[in-house]
Amino acid sequence: MRLFDSHSHVQDARFDEDREAVLARAAAAGVATIVVCGEDVASSEAAIALAGRTDSPRLLATAGFHPHEASQANDAALDRIEGLAAAGNVAAIGEIGLDFYRDLSPRHVQRRVFDAQLAIAARLGLPVSIHSRDAEEELAPPLARFAAESPLTAQGRPLGVLHAFGGTLEQARQYAGMGFLISLTCSAGYPRNDEARRVAAGLPLTSLLIETDSPALPPQSARGTRNEPANVKVTAEVVAEARGVSIEAIAEATTANAEALFGVNVAVEAGA
């Protein structure tokens, strides 16, 4: 079984003590690829540095400003993100988006920085990794503009992923119809998260990804602890149970979807 953790922050300082052991546990759990997501310039550079390692699992980097950090994203910082991405070592621009739940940056700043980074992704022909919280409706106009501008649309490739999706099944269908994938975390297994399980059961399998968002959002059985990529298997189990299919079927489909999104084919490159 090959699993693909489509969103993590394993460059985070909380992994500094034992990062290689964490990655080895992921490999042992069948995780072939982990996406390491940037949240500002420093964490994007750290993600790119980690992606250079050649051991299993394979690590892919993204570069971008999280909406929480949008206030730090001046023109020079956005130019740096574009430079990192243009150098060819990032698989997506992210994580970018809107967070109207915590509002750690002013909303008008979040919107401006989100739009600027969607424009970078469109210029470079890269997909996007989107964070949204209490802003699922507000995403629609900027994502529609991105769909119109991105060369990925004409190539028939996925445009991006709505990570740790917290909206409704109807919203998920709307964005899937626009060409975006929908990613669920271990939190889809939390007792009160019925809507995430509706999304898991109701979307076409071709629109679903799985992730951990490590070190955040640990499985229900490990609430309050540091999450890690090996637990993407738990997300796969939750989705498999919601759909009434095998975990292997979920692993195979979500890995293929992630490879199409991030422009990689792990099977070919690993000689599998």
**Sole window of 17-25, 42-50, 208-216, 235-243 interacting with Zn ion (rule: CB under 5 A):** 208-216
**CA 42/CA 39 separation, integer angstroms:** 8
Q: How far is the CB of 14 from Zn ion (least distance, A)?
A: 13
For Zn ion, the closer CB: 36 or 126: 36
Q: How far is the CB of 110 from Zn ion (least distance, A)?
A: 15
Judge whether 3 and 60 are in contact, CB under 8 Å.
no
Residues ≥6 apart with Cβ < 8 Å to 17: none
Q: How far is the CB of 113 from Zn ion (least distance, A)?
A: 16
Question: Encoding tokens for residue 242?
Answer: 């919601």
x/- track of binding to Zn ion for residues 85-104 (CB under 5 A):
----------x---------
Q: How far is the CB of 80 from Zn ion (least distance, A)?
A: 20
67 burial class (0-12, 13-18, 19+ CB within 10 angstroms)? buried
For Zn ion, the closer CB: 187 or 240: 187
Q: How far is the CB of 248 from Zn ion (least distance, A)?
A: 27
With tokens 């004409």, the residue in question is 154
**CA 134/CA 131 separation, integer angstroms:** 10
For Zn ion, the closer CB: 123 or 133: 133
For Zn ion, the closer CB: 11 or 257: 11
134 burial class (0-12, 13-18, 19+ CB within 10 angstroms)? middle
**Sole window of 142-150, 177-185, 192-200, 207-215 interacting with Zn ion (rule: CB under 5 A):** 207-215
Binding site for Zn ion (CB under 5 A): 95, 213
